Amino acid sequence: MTPDEKTEVERRLKDDNDGENNEFDLKYAYQALKDWKIWVNCVICICILTPLYSISLFLPTIVKDLGYSNNAAQLMTVPPYVVACACTILSSYASDKTGQRGVFLLGFQIISLIGFALLIASGKEKIQYAGTFLAASGKSTLLSSTGSFANNFN
């Protein structure tokens, strides 16, 4: 960069803080801990991310326990994610068109709960495998809407 460009970059970096204070003060931490919106956002994130990562981490084990070999179990985890991807794209498109994101979030949460219930309650492999499709679809769809849902509290 030329010296003029370097000077301009340095000037922009100095102005980049938008007038916010970058110094740490314990009173700001206490203010954040007292804010109910922070706690609601934490609960929302935990409730969304725990089942999402659980299904992601344990899906190969779940499928393996259905009677598949290690390699086949890894391959059998792909179809639930393909369906989840399609559901995520379609629900995002539909919710943007209708302007009703909450209805889609609630609907896919119900679908996810049904999927987890099928995994827990049924002893039949085919029903449990169908449950993985529902659980993955519900959780993946919810994650795509997390940012806009959580930002409503800011």
pLDDT digits (tens, 9 = 90+) for 52-108: 888 888 888 888 888 888 888 888 889 999 999 999 898 888 888 888 888 888 888
Contact of 57 with 147, CB cutoff 8 Å: no
Model pLDDT, residue 152: 46
Q: What is the pTM of this model?
A: 0.66
Q: 139 pLDDT band (50/70/90 cuts)?
A: confident
Over the range 16-55, which residues count as b (16 or more CB within 10 Å of their CB) and which as e? eeeeeeeeeeeeeeeeeeeeeeeeebeeeeeebeebbeeb
Model pLDDT, residue 144: 65
Q: Angle 125-150/36-65 helices, nearest 10 degrees?
A: 160
Instruction: Compute CA 14 distance to the chain's CA centroid, rounded to the nearest angstrom.
Output: 35
Contact of 52 with 143, CB cutoff 8 Å: yes
Contacts of 39 (CB under 8 A, 6+ apart): none
Whole-number mean pLDDT of the chain?
83
